[in-house]
Chains A and B, each alone.
Chain A
């Protein structure tokens, strides 16, 4: 997994609340193989009309070209468990989403793919959005070591679960960590089946 330490990048002030995973990637694209890249499917129905023409959505505006950070309002990534929502963000080039709250499953999926879900207070989200909207070149600096977001001379704190922070900083993979506990897993399995034999069905 790719490490996330700090990032300075063009930022798109999306500003939407309740950006659900059906918007992040509509279900009809999810049978496609990842090898094609999922970037074009990101927020597809907000970005493209019936004939595939661009609707001029802010993500596609010239001033946001190359954006690697988006800022949204509350409850980003709410909805289904589709990890494809993260694949779409990642393949588009997004490495960090800043919002006052995230869907739990989305936040977990994000970290497992190296994408930072940075939680800010609702007030700070409003301030950051206003600063970005007024900026000629909307850019942010996100520092995961210090848990700070910088825009111009302004600085804002953000939160992320301490373990997830370490995973992102180190690019740790869950499976490698789990395999160190192989012996404990085997012992637990035997105990679990002895105590609750009904876990083996039929």
Chain B
């Protein structure tokens, strides 16, 4: 009898070219996404004088540095140079580019699934840690550094050691108004920012089955913030329905043949995981981060931790430094924390469902702080405009911009000013992430919208009730 395998095992096995005696495997890469920040890798390729091995499996996306206003002009010459270099590399090596003026441009982790480029069972890599996002479709997807990007460009392969397998089953029902972002923050605060380190993570359970593809993408996206090597959801009817009719997905009979294979990818019932964790979604309240790591998340009705109550001196020191950086006071109510601006965007939470959730809170209301909305892709932007969501954001007083990584990482100049506090749908509340000395609170799109209305961290459920 064949040994029972997990979803991850099956995808791994189908990509192993060779395994060395020391346990390292050479893996075949089905999809390689590059962006304008991949310039270090292209320089390594040039230095070797080698061609790109598989241009048909390589896709370029301009997202990290692109402006979100007044396109296609790029005022900053350094950024213009990077975007031009990506275009030049795409032309020279002959791979498809989703450039600044392409109606399909967007954030790479939104574009891949949206175009039907990300498919179940594929091995997907990109020089960006949030590549874990693509695992929502049942792909083995992970971020790599510049040296590995160069290696994939030149060989379409990567050396990897097989990670351990970890499953998180989430049962129960998510309360109304809560979303995949709350699930993600709950997972991270439960297991820690390095809780899934060295593991391939699979999400399962009734909450995951009921989750939309957008929600699954958010959850897998944030899994890198728990240190996971990758995160996956077994392909099911939600996945297949999502993929049908995508521009670059297989069509007709070809789709049916693929789907028959994809249906066999789910973990075998008796497959064994190195770690298996069960969580109850019913007990989750809306979560926000108060500190400088995504694990610093608490229910909105909680208080900022008090280092004086901490027995471990190193932990107390960490808490105090985080509180100081964030400009908070130990023990203060999170609901009393005032924000200076909001941001709705990023590969985490800027898909159409996210924009709808935020717009439903803002409909007929005014934001009392400034804010920026940057859709996850130009297609999402067009869809939102067809639905009139842009008008809701604009009438609430928020700025409706073009698509890119924008204020999640601030590389394009969309920055939170020093000392300012931003309620953000993004993925990292690291020191300086949204700008030097900027303070970031992570939360769901609906919670960001609620914060925009009141000017402070707000329990969405209270806003809806009154």
Q: Residues of A at under 8 Å CB distance from B?
A: 15, 17-18, 20, 22-23, 26-28, 30-31, 34, 45, 50, 73-75, 78-84, 86, 101, 103-105, 108-109, 112-113, 126, 161-163, 166, 174-175, 177-179, 181, 184-185, 188-189, 192, 195-202
Task: Check A83–B146 contact: CB distance below 8 A.
Answer: yes
Task: Check B197–A178 contact: CB distance below 8 A.
Answer: no
Question: Nearest-CB distance from B425 to chain A (Å)?
Answer: 18
Interface hub of B154, B197, B247, B292 (most chain A Cβ within 10 A)? B197
- Nearest B residue to A179 via CB reads B155
How many B residues touch the partner, as a band? 35 or more
Could you say which of A30, A73, A174, A196 contacts B159, with CB atoms under 8 Å apart? A174
B79 sits at the interface (CB 8 A): yes
How many residue pairs at the A-B interface have CB separations less than 8 Å?
A: 170
Task: Check A31–B78 contact: CB distance below 8 A.
Answer: yes
Cβ contacts under 8 Å, A200 to chain B = 56-57
* Dominant SS among interface residues on chain A: helix
Given contacts A80-B409, A179-B155, A181-B18, 16 further A-B contacts (CB under 8 A): A22-B432, A23-B430, A28-B436, A45-B432, A45-B436, A73-B314, A78-B193, A79-B129, A83-B145, A103-B194, A103-B197, A103-B227, A163-B24, A184-B26, A199-B122, A201-B56
Question: Nearest-CB distance from A44 to chain B (Å)?
Answer: 9
Task: Check B144–A101 contact: CB distance below 8 A.
Answer: no
Interface residues of B in 120-136 (CB under 8 A from A): 121-122, 127-129, 131
Cβ contacts under 8 Å, A166 to chain B = 22
Task: Check A101–B145 contact: CB distance below 8 A.
Answer: no
User: How many Å lie between the Cα of A28 and that of B79 in the bound state?
Assistant: 11
- Nearest B residue to A74 via CB reads B194
User: How many Å lie between the Cα of A93 and that of B176 in the bound state?
Assistant: 52
User: How many Å lie between the Cα of A192 and that of B122 in the bound state?
Assistant: 11
Given the contacts A31-B79, A103-B227, A185-B17, A20 and B430 also touching, CB distance less than 8 Å: yes
Cβ contacts under 8 Å, A126 to chain B = 314
Interface flags, B13-46, vs A, CB<8A=1, else 0: 0110110001110101011000001001000000
B439 sits at the interface (CB 8 A): no
